[in-house]
Structure 1
Amino acid sequence: MSFGDGKRVLVTGAASGLGAALVAAFRSRGDDVLATDRVAGDGIDLVLDITSEPDWAAAVEAVRERWGGLDVLINNAGVAGGGRVDLCTLDEWQWITDVNLFGAVRGTRAFVPLLKEQGSGHLVNVASLAGLVHPAGMASYNATKAAVVAFTETCGHELASYGIRASVVCPSYFRTNLVASMRGSDEAVGRLVAGLVERSKVSAEDIAAAVLAGMDAGEDVIVPDEAARQAYFLKWADRSAYDAVMRDQAAKLRAGAES
Protein backbone atom coordinates (compact mmCIF):
# COMPACT_ATOMS: atom_id res chain seq x y z
CA MET A 1 0.00 0.00 0.00
CA SER A 2 1.38 3.43 -0.92
CA PHE A 3 0.84 6.44 1.29
CA GLY A 4 1.42 9.09 -1.34
CA ASP A 5 -2.12 9.32 -2.71
CA GLY A 6 -3.91 11.74 -0.46
CA LYS A 7 -4.13 9.76 2.76
CA ARG A 8 -5.63 11.34 5.88
CA VAL A 9 -2.98 11.32 8.61
CA LEU A 10 -2.92 12.41 12.26
CA VAL A 11 0.49 12.90 13.91
CA THR A 12 1.02 13.49 17.63
CA GLY A 13 4.02 15.36 19.02
CA ALA A 14 4.22 17.29 15.76
CA ALA A 15 5.72 20.55 17.02
CA SER A 16 9.33 19.48 16.56
CA GLY A 17 11.72 16.60 16.05
CA LEU A 18 10.47 13.43 14.42
CA GLY A 19 6.85 14.55 14.60
CA ALA A 20 7.53 17.68 12.57
CA ALA A 21 9.66 15.68 10.13
CA LEU A 22 6.87 13.15 9.66
CA VAL A 23 4.33 15.90 9.00
CA ALA A 24 6.60 17.40 6.34
CA ALA A 25 7.31 14.02 4.75
CA PHE A 26 3.65 13.05 4.49
CA ARG A 27 2.65 16.44 3.11
CA SER A 28 5.43 16.33 0.54
CA ARG A 29 3.78 13.18 -0.85
CA GLY A 30 0.35 14.76 -1.10
CA ASP A 31 -1.16 13.45 2.13
CA ASP A 32 -3.48 15.61 4.25
CA VAL A 33 -2.05 15.85 7.76
CA LEU A 34 -3.54 16.95 11.06
CA ALA A 35 -0.53 18.05 13.11
CA THR A 36 -1.16 17.85 16.86
CA ASP A 37 0.83 18.69 19.97
CA ARG A 38 0.09 19.33 23.63
CA VAL A 39 0.49 23.09 23.24
CA ALA A 40 -0.60 25.41 20.46
CA GLY A 41 2.08 26.77 18.15
CA ASP A 42 3.12 27.43 14.58
CA GLY A 43 2.16 24.52 12.36
CA ILE A 44 -0.07 22.86 14.97
CA ASP A 45 -3.63 22.23 13.77
CA LEU A 46 -5.03 20.79 16.99
CA VAL A 47 -3.98 20.83 20.64
CA LEU A 48 -3.78 17.24 21.86
CA ASP A 49 -2.28 16.19 25.17
CA ILE A 50 -1.85 12.44 24.78
CA THR A 51 -2.32 11.91 28.53
CA SER A 52 -5.84 13.40 28.32
CA GLU A 53 -8.76 11.15 27.32
CA PRO A 54 -10.99 14.22 26.67
CA ASP A 55 -8.35 15.55 24.27
CA TRP A 56 -8.36 12.24 22.42
CA ALA A 57 -12.15 12.25 22.23
CA ALA A 58 -11.99 15.78 20.81
CA ALA A 59 -9.41 14.64 18.26
CA VAL A 60 -11.73 11.88 17.03
CA GLU A 61 -14.54 14.40 16.62
CA ALA A 62 -12.22 16.80 14.82
CA VAL A 63 -11.22 14.04 12.40
CA ARG A 64 -14.84 13.06 11.79
CA GLU A 65 -15.76 16.67 11.04
CA ARG A 66 -12.72 17.37 8.89
CA TRP A 67 -12.46 14.14 6.90
CA GLY A 68 -15.13 11.68 7.98
CA GLY A 69 -12.42 9.07 8.56
CA LEU A 70 -8.72 8.48 9.09
CA ASP A 71 -6.16 6.45 7.15
CA VAL A 72 -3.08 6.72 9.35
CA LEU A 73 -2.70 7.39 13.08
CA ILE A 74 0.90 8.16 14.09
CA ASN A 75 1.36 7.86 17.86
CA ASN A 76 4.68 9.69 17.90
CA ALA A 77 4.64 11.86 21.04
CA GLY A 78 6.86 10.64 23.85
CA VAL A 79 9.40 11.61 26.47
CA ALA A 80 12.88 10.51 27.51
CA GLY A 81 13.79 9.23 30.92
CA GLY A 82 15.79 6.63 32.73
CA GLY A 83 18.06 5.88 35.60
CA ARG A 84 19.67 2.87 37.23
CA VAL A 85 17.16 0.63 38.95
CA ASP A 86 17.86 1.84 42.48
CA LEU A 87 17.98 5.52 41.48
CA CYS A 88 14.96 5.87 39.19
CA THR A 89 12.02 6.79 41.44
CA LEU A 90 8.53 5.35 41.20
CA ASP A 91 7.22 8.81 40.35
CA GLU A 92 9.58 8.82 37.36
CA TRP A 93 8.37 5.35 36.36
CA GLN A 94 4.74 6.46 36.54
CA TRP A 95 5.38 9.64 34.54
CA ILE A 96 7.20 7.96 31.67
CA THR A 97 4.72 5.07 31.54
CA ASP A 98 1.74 7.43 31.43
CA VAL A 99 3.21 9.25 28.44
CA ASN A 100 5.10 6.64 26.43
CA LEU A 101 2.86 3.62 26.88
CA PHE A 102 -0.56 4.90 27.87
CA GLY A 103 -0.34 7.76 25.37
CA ALA A 104 -0.27 5.20 22.57
CA VAL A 105 -2.91 3.07 24.28
CA ARG A 106 -5.27 6.04 24.69
CA GLY A 107 -4.84 7.11 21.09
CA THR A 108 -5.37 3.63 19.73
CA ARG A 109 -8.46 3.03 21.88
CA ALA A 110 -9.90 6.38 20.83
CA PHE A 111 -9.54 5.77 17.09
CA VAL A 112 -10.06 2.02 16.70
CA PRO A 113 -13.88 2.28 16.70
CA LEU A 114 -13.68 4.71 13.76
CA LEU A 115 -11.18 2.51 11.92
CA LYS A 116 -13.39 -0.54 12.47
CA GLU A 117 -16.40 1.38 11.11
CA GLN A 118 -14.58 2.19 7.89
CA GLY A 119 -12.89 -1.21 7.65
CA SER A 120 -9.40 0.17 7.07
CA GLY A 121 -6.56 2.12 8.62
CA HIS A 122 -2.95 1.96 9.73
CA LEU A 123 -1.76 2.41 13.32
CA VAL A 124 1.88 3.46 13.59
CA ASN A 125 3.40 3.62 17.08
CA VAL A 126 6.82 5.21 17.50
CA ALA A 127 8.77 3.17 20.04
CA SER A 128 12.57 3.01 20.02
CA LEU A 129 15.46 0.62 19.55
CA ALA A 130 15.17 0.50 23.35
CA GLY A 131 12.03 -1.56 22.81
CA LEU A 132 14.15 -4.29 21.18
CA VAL A 133 17.52 -4.03 22.95
CA HIS A 134 17.86 -2.95 26.54
CA PRO A 135 20.93 -0.98 27.69
CA ALA A 136 21.76 -0.44 31.34
CA GLY A 137 20.49 2.64 33.14
CA MET A 138 17.34 2.87 31.04
CA ALA A 139 14.99 0.36 32.64
CA SER A 140 11.92 2.62 32.75
CA TYR A 141 12.40 3.87 29.18
CA ASN A 142 13.24 0.39 27.89
CA ALA A 143 10.18 -1.07 29.59
CA THR A 144 7.78 1.48 28.12
CA LYS A 145 9.18 1.09 24.62
CA ALA A 146 9.18 -2.72 24.82
CA ALA A 147 5.56 -2.50 25.94
CA VAL A 148 4.74 -0.33 22.91
CA VAL A 149 6.32 -2.99 20.66
CA ALA A 150 4.22 -5.72 22.30
CA PHE A 151 1.07 -3.58 22.24
CA THR A 152 1.49 -2.82 18.55
CA GLU A 153 2.03 -6.45 17.60
CA THR A 154 -1.05 -7.43 19.58
CA CYS A 155 -3.12 -4.77 17.83
CA GLY A 156 -1.87 -5.98 14.46
CA HIS A 157 -3.11 -9.51 15.16
CA GLU A 158 -6.37 -8.40 16.75
CA LEU A 159 -7.35 -5.85 14.12
CA ALA A 160 -6.19 -7.56 10.92
CA SER A 161 -9.63 -9.02 10.24
CA TYR A 162 -11.05 -5.46 10.22
CA GLY A 163 -8.61 -4.36 7.52
CA ILE A 164 -6.45 -2.43 10.02
CA ARG A 165 -2.66 -2.67 10.01
CA ALA A 166 -0.27 -1.88 12.86
CA SER A 167 3.42 -0.99 12.65
CA VAL A 168 5.96 -0.05 15.31
CA VAL A 169 8.99 2.18 14.68
CA CYS A 170 12.25 1.43 16.53
CA PRO A 171 15.00 3.97 15.77
CA SER A 172 18.36 4.28 17.48
CA TYR A 173 19.65 7.65 18.69
CA PHE A 174 19.12 10.48 16.21
CA ARG A 175 19.40 14.25 16.41
CA THR A 176 16.29 15.61 18.09
CA ASN A 177 15.25 17.72 21.07
CA LEU A 178 13.81 14.72 22.93
CA VAL A 179 16.50 15.05 25.59
CA ALA A 180 14.96 18.40 26.56
CA SER A 181 11.99 16.45 27.97
CA MET A 182 14.16 14.03 29.90
CA ARG A 183 13.58 13.62 33.62
CA GLY A 184 15.52 11.55 36.07
CA SER A 185 17.39 11.49 39.34
CA ASP A 186 20.32 9.63 37.77
CA GLU A 187 22.38 12.45 36.26
CA ALA A 188 24.99 10.07 34.83
CA VAL A 189 22.38 8.51 32.57
CA GLY A 190 21.21 11.92 31.44
CA ARG A 191 24.74 12.86 30.41
CA LEU A 192 25.21 9.56 28.59
CA VAL A 193 22.00 9.89 26.57
CA ALA A 194 22.64 13.54 25.72
CA GLY A 195 26.07 12.63 24.38
CA LEU A 196 24.74 9.82 22.21
CA VAL A 197 22.10 12.10 20.71
CA GLU A 198 24.63 14.87 20.06
CA ARG A 199 27.07 12.53 18.31
CA SER A 200 24.47 10.89 16.06
CA LYS A 201 24.80 11.58 12.34
CA VAL A 202 21.16 10.61 11.73
CA SER A 203 18.54 13.36 11.47
CA ALA A 204 14.83 13.33 12.20
CA GLU A 205 14.26 13.75 8.47
CA ASP A 206 16.29 10.58 7.79
CA ILE A 207 14.12 8.63 10.22
CA ALA A 208 10.88 10.08 8.80
CA ALA A 209 11.85 9.05 5.27
CA ALA A 210 12.63 5.52 6.49
CA VAL A 211 9.31 5.33 8.34
CA LEU A 212 7.36 6.13 5.18
CA ALA A 213 9.42 3.62 3.21
CA GLY A 214 8.76 0.96 5.83
CA MET A 215 5.05 1.67 5.77
CA ASP A 216 5.02 1.41 1.98
CA ALA A 217 6.88 -1.90 2.22
CA GLY A 218 4.30 -3.31 4.64
CA GLU A 219 6.73 -3.72 7.53
CA ASP A 220 5.25 -4.48 10.94
CA VAL A 221 8.50 -3.60 12.75
CA ILE A 222 10.29 -0.66 11.15
CA VAL A 223 13.94 -0.44 12.19
CA PRO A 224 14.82 2.73 10.31
CA ASP A 225 18.57 3.27 10.72
CA GLU A 226 21.72 1.22 10.32
CA ALA A 227 22.89 1.48 13.94
CA ALA A 228 19.55 0.15 15.14
CA ARG A 229 19.58 -2.68 12.62
CA GLN A 230 23.10 -3.73 13.65
CA ALA A 231 22.27 -3.73 17.36
CA TYR A 232 19.06 -5.72 16.83
CA PHE A 233 20.85 -8.21 14.57
CA LEU A 234 23.62 -8.72 17.14
CA LYS A 235 21.09 -9.55 19.85
CA TRP A 236 19.50 -12.45 18.01
CA ALA A 237 22.58 -13.57 16.04
CA ASP A 238 25.11 -13.65 18.91
CA ARG A 239 23.53 -13.24 22.32
CA SER A 240 26.81 -13.64 24.23
CA ALA A 241 28.42 -10.84 22.22
CA TYR A 242 25.35 -8.68 22.72
CA ASP A 243 25.44 -9.26 26.49
CA ALA A 244 29.13 -8.36 26.54
CA VAL A 245 28.44 -5.06 24.76
CA MET A 246 25.57 -4.20 27.12
CA ARG A 247 27.59 -5.03 30.24
CA ASP A 248 30.55 -3.04 29.00
CA GLN A 249 28.22 -0.07 28.59
CA ALA A 250 26.94 -0.66 32.14
CA ALA A 251 30.52 -0.68 33.43
CA LYS A 252 31.27 2.60 31.66
CA LEU A 253 28.11 4.12 33.15
CA ARG A 254 29.22 3.07 36.63
CA ALA A 255 32.74 4.40 36.08
CA GLY A 256 31.38 7.70 34.80
CA ALA A 257 29.09 8.08 37.79
CA GLU A 258 31.86 7.29 40.27
CA SER A 259 34.53 9.50 38.73
Structure 2
Amino acid sequence: MSRRVLVTGGASGLGLALANAFLARGDSVLVADLADTRPDSVPAGVDYVRLDVRSQQDWDAALAHVRDTWGGLDVLVNNAGVATGGRIDVESIADWERVLDVNLLGVVRGCQTFTPLLKEQRSGHIVNTASLAGLIHGPGMSSYNAAKAGVVALSETLGFELAPWNIHVSAVCPAFFKTNLHQSLQGKDTAMEETAVKLITKASMTADEVAEIVLKGIDRHKRIILTDRIGHQAYWAKRLARPAYNLVATNAGKRLARKART
Protein backbone atom coordinates (compact mmCIF):
# COMPACT_ATOMS: atom_id res chain seq x y z
CA MET A 1 0.00 0.00 0.00
CA SER A 2 1.33 3.43 -0.97
CA ARG A 3 2.19 5.68 1.95
CA ARG A 4 2.29 9.46 2.28
CA VAL A 5 5.76 10.48 3.49
CA LEU A 6 7.32 13.79 4.55
CA VAL A 7 11.14 13.91 4.78
CA THR A 8 12.88 16.96 6.24
CA GLY A 9 16.39 17.69 5.08
CA GLY A 10 15.42 15.66 2.05
CA ALA A 11 17.38 17.48 -0.66
CA SER A 12 20.74 15.89 0.14
CA GLY A 13 22.51 13.19 2.15
CA LEU A 14 20.48 10.61 4.01
CA GLY A 15 17.28 12.60 3.56
CA LEU A 16 17.57 12.43 -0.22
CA ALA A 17 18.46 8.74 -0.07
CA LEU A 18 15.38 8.09 2.07
CA ALA A 19 13.17 10.10 -0.29
CA ASN A 20 14.45 8.05 -3.25
CA ALA A 21 13.96 4.79 -1.36
CA PHE A 22 10.37 5.64 -0.44
CA LEU A 23 9.69 6.78 -4.02
CA ALA A 24 11.08 3.52 -5.39
CA ARG A 25 8.53 1.66 -3.28
CA GLY A 26 5.71 3.61 -4.86
CA ASP A 27 5.12 5.95 -1.91
CA SER A 28 4.06 9.58 -2.26
CA VAL A 29 6.91 11.74 -1.00
CA LEU A 30 7.14 15.37 0.08
CA VAL A 31 10.69 16.68 0.56
CA ALA A 32 11.27 19.65 2.85
CA ASP A 33 14.53 21.59 2.92
CA LEU A 34 16.00 25.08 3.28
CA ALA A 35 16.12 26.18 -0.36
CA ASP A 36 13.46 28.69 -1.39
CA THR A 37 12.94 26.92 -4.72
CA ARG A 38 12.97 23.23 -5.56
CA PRO A 39 16.60 21.97 -5.66
CA ASP A 40 17.75 20.11 -8.76
CA SER A 41 18.65 17.14 -6.57
CA VAL A 42 15.01 16.44 -5.69
CA PRO A 43 13.85 13.67 -8.05
CA ALA A 44 10.91 13.90 -10.40
CA GLY A 45 7.71 12.62 -8.85
CA VAL A 46 8.55 14.14 -5.46
CA ASP A 47 6.87 17.30 -4.17
CA TYR A 48 8.86 20.03 -2.40
CA VAL A 49 8.29 22.64 0.30
CA ARG A 50 10.71 25.02 1.96
CA LEU A 51 11.09 24.23 5.64
CA ASP A 52 13.50 25.56 8.23
CA VAL A 53 13.00 23.21 11.17
CA ARG A 54 13.73 26.12 13.54
CA SER A 55 10.62 27.96 12.30
CA GLN A 56 7.20 27.02 13.68
CA GLN A 57 5.66 29.06 10.88
CA ASP A 58 7.35 26.81 8.32
CA TRP A 59 6.16 23.71 10.19
CA ASP A 60 2.59 25.03 10.19
CA ALA A 61 2.83 25.65 6.44
CA ALA A 62 4.09 22.09 5.88
CA LEU A 63 1.17 20.72 7.90
CA ALA A 64 -1.29 22.80 5.85
CA HIS A 65 0.32 21.53 2.63
CA VAL A 66 -0.02 17.91 3.77
CA ARG A 67 -3.65 18.38 4.81
CA ASP A 68 -4.57 20.16 1.58
CA THR A 69 -2.67 17.79 -0.73
CA TRP A 70 -3.09 14.38 0.92
CA GLY A 71 -5.58 14.81 3.72
CA GLY A 72 -3.20 12.95 6.05
CA LEU A 73 0.29 11.59 6.58
CA ASP A 74 1.59 8.06 7.12
CA VAL A 75 5.30 8.64 7.80
CA LEU A 76 7.00 11.74 9.19
CA VAL A 77 10.79 11.59 8.86
CA ASN A 78 12.49 14.22 11.03
CA ASN A 79 15.85 13.99 9.33
CA ALA A 80 17.20 17.56 9.00
CA GLY A 81 20.33 18.17 11.02
CA VAL A 82 23.74 19.79 11.24
CA ALA A 83 27.15 18.51 12.30
CA THR A 84 29.04 19.94 15.22
CA GLY A 85 31.73 18.94 17.63
CA GLY A 86 34.26 20.32 20.04
CA ARG A 87 35.81 20.02 23.44
CA ILE A 88 33.74 21.53 26.24
CA ASP A 89 36.22 24.37 26.85
CA VAL A 90 36.56 25.21 23.15
CA GLU A 91 33.11 24.97 21.59
CA SER A 92 31.03 28.12 22.01
CA ILE A 93 27.61 28.41 23.58
CA ALA A 94 26.40 29.75 20.22
CA ASP A 95 27.38 26.43 18.61
CA TRP A 96 25.56 24.57 21.39
CA GLU A 97 22.44 26.66 20.80
CA ARG A 98 22.58 26.05 17.05
CA VAL A 99 22.88 22.28 17.24
CA LEU A 100 20.22 21.96 19.93
CA ASP A 101 17.82 24.21 18.00
CA VAL A 102 18.23 22.24 14.76
CA ASN A 103 19.01 18.67 15.80
CA LEU A 104 16.82 18.40 18.89
CA LEU A 105 14.20 21.16 18.94
CA GLY A 106 13.74 20.80 15.17
CA VAL A 107 12.64 17.22 15.81
CA VAL A 108 10.47 18.30 18.74
CA ARG A 109 8.72 20.88 16.57
CA GLY A 110 8.01 18.30 13.89
CA CYS A 111 6.58 15.84 16.41
CA GLN A 112 4.46 18.53 18.08
CA THR A 113 3.14 19.83 14.77
CA PHE A 114 2.08 16.51 13.27
CA THR A 115 1.03 14.48 16.32
CA PRO A 116 -2.51 15.97 16.39
CA LEU A 117 -3.02 14.88 12.76
CA LEU A 118 -1.69 11.39 13.46
CA LYS A 119 -3.94 11.12 16.51
CA GLU A 120 -6.94 12.11 14.37
CA GLN A 121 -6.05 9.29 11.98
CA ARG A 122 -5.23 6.91 14.83
CA SER A 123 -2.23 5.78 12.77
CA GLY A 124 1.19 6.86 11.60
CA HIS A 125 4.92 6.43 12.04
CA ILE A 126 7.37 9.09 13.26
CA VAL A 127 10.97 8.42 12.25
CA ASN A 128 13.58 10.60 13.97
CA THR A 129 17.13 10.61 12.65
CA ALA A 130 19.42 10.49 15.66
CA SER A 131 22.90 8.97 15.40
CA LEU A 132 25.04 6.33 16.98
CA ALA A 133 26.27 9.39 18.91
CA GLY A 134 22.90 9.37 20.64
CA LEU A 135 23.78 6.00 22.17
CA ILE A 136 27.59 6.02 22.31
CA HIS A 137 29.12 9.17 23.77
CA GLY A 138 32.71 9.60 22.67
CA PRO A 139 34.92 12.52 23.71
CA GLY A 140 35.06 15.86 21.92
CA MET A 141 31.44 15.74 20.74
CA SER A 142 29.44 16.80 23.78
CA SER A 143 26.97 19.12 22.01
CA TYR A 144 26.27 16.68 19.18
CA ASN A 145 26.05 13.73 21.56
CA ALA A 146 23.68 15.60 23.87
CA ALA A 147 21.40 16.64 21.00
CA LYS A 148 21.24 13.17 19.49
CA ALA A 149 20.79 11.50 22.89
CA GLY A 150 17.87 13.86 23.35
CA VAL A 151 16.38 12.65 20.07
CA VAL A 152 16.72 9.03 21.23
CA ALA A 153 15.06 9.86 24.58
CA LEU A 154 12.28 11.80 22.86
CA SER A 155 11.64 8.94 20.45
CA GLU A 156 11.46 6.33 23.22
CA THR A 157 9.12 8.54 25.25
CA LEU A 158 6.78 9.17 22.33
CA GLY A 159 6.83 5.51 21.36
CA PHE A 160 5.10 4.69 24.64
CA GLU A 161 3.03 7.88 24.77
CA LEU A 162 1.54 7.57 21.28
CA ALA A 163 1.10 3.79 21.13
CA PRO A 164 -2.59 4.01 22.20
CA TRP A 165 -3.25 5.84 18.91
CA ASN A 166 -1.41 3.17 16.87
CA ILE A 167 1.42 5.63 16.19
CA HIS A 168 4.88 4.06 15.97
CA VAL A 169 8.12 5.94 16.68
CA SER A 170 11.63 4.97 15.57
CA ALA A 171 15.04 6.52 16.25
CA VAL A 172 17.57 5.99 13.46
CA CYS A 173 21.12 5.63 14.83
CA PRO A 174 23.71 5.26 12.06
CA ALA A 175 27.46 5.44 12.57
CA PHE A 176 29.56 7.39 10.07
CA PHE A 177 28.63 7.04 6.40
CA LYS A 178 29.41 8.99 3.24
CA THR A 179 27.33 12.16 3.25
CA ASN A 180 27.62 15.93 2.99
CA LEU A 181 26.94 16.44 6.70
CA HIS A 182 30.49 17.67 7.34
CA GLN A 183 29.76 20.73 5.17
CA SER A 184 27.61 22.10 8.01
CA LEU A 185 30.56 22.18 10.42
CA GLN A 186 31.32 25.74 11.53
CA GLY A 187 32.57 25.52 15.11
CA LYS A 188 35.72 26.77 16.82
CA ASP A 189 37.34 23.40 17.53
CA THR A 190 39.18 22.81 14.25
CA ALA A 191 41.09 19.78 15.59
CA MET A 192 37.87 17.95 16.35
CA GLU A 193 36.29 18.99 13.07
CA GLU A 194 39.24 17.63 11.08
CA THR A 195 38.69 14.24 12.71
CA ALA A 196 34.95 14.35 11.94
CA VAL A 197 35.56 15.20 8.28
CA LYS A 198 37.95 12.24 7.91
CA LEU A 199 35.49 9.83 9.53
CA ILE A 200 32.62 10.97 7.28
CA THR A 201 34.49 11.18 3.98
CA LYS A 202 36.35 7.88 4.47
CA ALA A 203 33.35 5.88 5.65
CA SER A 204 32.57 2.73 3.68
CA MET A 205 28.75 2.84 3.76
CA THR A 206 26.75 5.10 1.48
CA ALA A 207 23.59 7.02 2.29
CA ASP A 208 21.64 4.78 -0.09
CA GLU A 209 22.76 1.67 1.79
CA VAL A 210 21.77 3.23 5.12
CA ALA A 211 18.39 4.27 3.70
CA GLU A 212 17.53 0.71 2.64
CA ILE A 213 18.27 -0.56 6.14
CA VAL A 214 16.19 2.25 7.64
CA LEU A 215 13.17 1.34 5.52
CA LYS A 216 13.42 -2.28 6.63
CA GLY A 217 13.52 -1.08 10.23
CA ILE A 218 10.44 1.04 9.65
CA ASP A 219 8.65 -1.97 8.16
CA ARG A 220 9.39 -3.88 11.37
CA HIS A 221 8.38 -0.95 13.60
CA LYS A 222 11.78 -1.06 15.32
CA ARG A 223 12.20 1.50 18.09
CA ILE A 224 15.97 1.78 17.56
CA ILE A 225 17.28 1.30 14.03
CA LEU A 226 21.00 0.49 13.97
CA THR A 227 22.38 0.53 10.44
CA ASP A 228 25.86 -1.02 10.48
CA ARG A 229 28.10 -3.59 12.14
CA ILE A 230 30.19 -1.02 14.01
CA GLY A 231 27.03 0.47 15.49
CA HIS A 232 25.76 -2.90 16.67
CA GLN A 233 29.13 -3.77 18.20
CA ALA A 234 29.48 -0.45 20.03
CA TYR A 235 25.88 -0.48 21.25
CA TRP A 236 26.10 -3.97 22.71
CA ALA A 237 29.62 -3.43 24.07
CA LYS A 238 28.34 -0.47 26.10
CA ARG A 239 25.47 -2.55 27.46
CA LEU A 240 27.22 -5.88 28.03
CA ALA A 241 30.96 -5.14 28.25
CA ARG A 242 31.11 -1.75 29.92
CA PRO A 243 34.75 -1.95 31.13
CA ALA A 244 35.95 -2.58 27.57
CA TYR A 245 33.74 0.22 26.27
CA ASN A 246 35.10 2.62 28.92
CA LEU A 247 38.68 1.71 28.00
CA VAL A 248 38.15 2.43 24.29
CA ALA A 249 36.44 5.76 25.00
CA THR A 250 39.10 6.77 27.55
CA ASN A 251 41.86 6.04 25.04
CA ALA A 252 40.02 8.12 22.45
CA GLY A 253 40.00 10.99 24.92
CA LYS A 254 43.75 10.62 25.44
CA ARG A 255 44.38 10.70 21.67
CA LEU A 256 42.27 13.85 21.37
CA ALA A 257 44.25 15.48 24.21
CA ARG A 258 47.57 14.63 22.54
CA LYS A 259 46.38 16.01 19.22
CA ALA A 260 45.21 19.24 20.87
CA ARG A 261 48.66 19.78 22.41
CA THR A 262 50.52 19.40 19.12
TM-score bin (small chain): over 0.9
237, 240, 243: which one aligns with 1:237: 240
Structure 2 counterpart of 1:74, one-letter code: V
Matched, 1:60 2:63: yes
Alpha carbons 1:131, 1:145 under 8 Å: kept: yes
20, 27, 43: which one aligns with 2:16: 20
125, 132, 135: which one aligns with 1:129: 132
159, 169, 174: which one aligns with 1:171: 174
Q: Distance in 2 between matches of 1:256 and 1:87?
A: 14
| CA deviation map 1:2-45 (0-9, x unaligned) | xxx21000000011100000000000001000011011312261
Alpha carbons 1:82, 1:183 under 8 Å: kept: no
In structure 2, stretches of 5+ residues that fail to align are none
Secondary structure, counterpart of 1:45 in structure 2: strand
Q: Distance in 1 between matches of 2:112 and 2:238?
A: 32
- The runs of at least 4 consecutive aligned structure 1 residues that moved more than 4 Å come to none
Q: How far apart are residue 171 of structure 1 and its match?
A: 0.3
Alpha carbons 1:175, 1:203 under 8 Å: kept: yes
Q: Distance in 2 between matches of 1:218 and 1:114?
A: 20
Alignment of 1:22-171 (within 5 A): 22-39=18-35, 40=37, 41-42=39-40, 43=42, 45-171=48-174
Structure 1 counterpart of 2:4, one-letter code: R
Q: What is the alpha-carbon root mean square deviation over aligned residues?
A: 0.8
Q: Distance in 2 between matches of 1:242 and 1:28?
A: 39
**What is the TM-score when the length of structure 1 is the normalising length?**
0.97
205, 221, 226: which one aligns with 1:218: 221
Q: Distance in 1 between matches of 2:202 and 2:249?
A: 19
Secondary structure, counterpart of 2:153 in structure 1: helix
Q: How far apart are residue 184 of structure 1 and its match?
A: 1.3
Alpha carbons 2:169, 2:221 under 8 Å: kept: no
Alpha carbons 2:177, 2:205 under 8 Å: kept: yes
Q: How far apart are residue 183 of structure 1 and its match?
A: 2.2
| CA deviation map 1:136-159 (0-9, x unaligned) | 000000000000000011111111
Structure 2 counterpart of 1:257, one-letter code: A
In structure 1, stretches of 5+ residues that fail to align are none
229-238 vs 126-135, which moves further: 229-238
Structure 2 counterpart of 1:19, one-letter code: G
Q: Distance in 2 between matches of 1:79 and 1:22?
A: 17
Alpha carbons 2:10, 2:33 under 8 Å: kept: yes
Give the total of aligned pairs: 255
**What is the TM-score when the length of structure 2 is the normalising length?**
0.96
Q: Distance in 1 between matches of 2:219 and 2:76?
A: 15
Q: Distance in 2 between matches of 1:31 and 1:75?
A: 17
Q: How far apart are residue 75 of structure 1 and its match?
A: 0.1
